[in-house]
A and B are shown apart, each in its own frame.
Chain A
Amino acid sequence: MKSILLPARLGLLGVLLGFTLSRTGFTSWDEVHEMFTFTSLRMFGAFALAVSLLAVAFFVIQKRSKPAWSPRPIHRGTLIGGVLFGAGWALSGGCPGVVLTQLGEGKLYALFALTGIAIGNWMYGALLETRLGTRANKTATAA
């Protein structure tokens, strides 16, 4: 029963995230470009507010229930991976969650971004991940 319920719960969470990404403007190439060129600080402000509120919430959760959250240390892929992701985000207008939301919105050019993400993910996983030792710690709470 639990194995059926979790995908359904995650589906509902996906709906909420997709709706939110759409209404915040993260699914719009133009809005993302305005954010990155400081033409509008609205989305930077939204992101900063969300992180600030989450920091308080996670602090309380950690104090009360001590969850087994995996650490995210700096490793050999952190910096270069971040550089590549940022450049790709500015070019494609989408980070991974955004691309799927764009498809639901009817922005079918996201199929190209989705294909690119799959190719890039595949290439790094197949060619470099083991060699550089950057594999993510796959636990239920780590992502």
Chain B
Amino acid sequence: MTYWPFWIAGVALFGVALLHWLVAGQLMSVSSRFSGIVDRVRGAVPDKIEPIANHLGFFGGLMLGGLASMLLAGAFEPTMFEVGSSFSRYFGDDPILTALVVTFGGALVGFGTRMSTGCTSGHGLCGVARFQPGSLLATCTFFGTGVLTSFAIEAVMS
């Protein structure tokens, strides 16, 4: 699939984030929806303001969006362990190692986004655009650490 050039991608991301406010009356943030569902499942503090149907509706939409993109590109071919050619170059094709690396990475994402109270959408897009100090620090940090980790993967695993 050919990806959009930066200016179409940027305008599209801007458009979705703005529409989220105009249509739903909420600033976009995905990790807080994860927290809403996880809290509900573990029987912690019920989220009275945001019904779980909102989270599930949004998450279902994300999946449908990904499906539509691949179907329209004629590229929908479900795979289980094929993460990417660069990933395979660093970590090999062993399914168990792939599962471990991706699960561990996911756990860091889940822990870290909840700890910093935001992710790429809540902090990175909507928080930085409002010049919020927490979002500016979190976004610089997670992009910076992403860069360092990726260079470390290249240096150690090549």
- The residues of A with any CB-CB pair to B shorter than 8 Å are 3, 6-25, 27-34, 36-38, 41-43, 45-51, 53-55, 57-58, 61-62, 67, 69, 71-75, 77-97, 99-110, 112-126, 128-129, 132, 134-136, 138-143
Contact = CB atoms under 8 A, between A and B. Distances in A.
Interface in B123-158: 123-135, 137-151, 153-154
Given A88-B105, A119-B107, A120-B110, A20 B57 contact: no
Nearest to B77: A106
Contacts, number: 497
A95 B115 contact: no
Contacts of B85: 30
Given A15-B65, A30-B86, A120 B35 contact: no
Interface of B: 1, 3-7, 9-21, 23-35, 38-39, 42, 44, 47, 49-51, 53-54, 56-70, 76-87, 98-99, 101-135, 137-151, 153-154
Nearest to B60: A11
Contacts of A62: 130
6 contacts: A6-B24, A36-B150, A81-B138, A95-B109, A117-B110, A119-B106
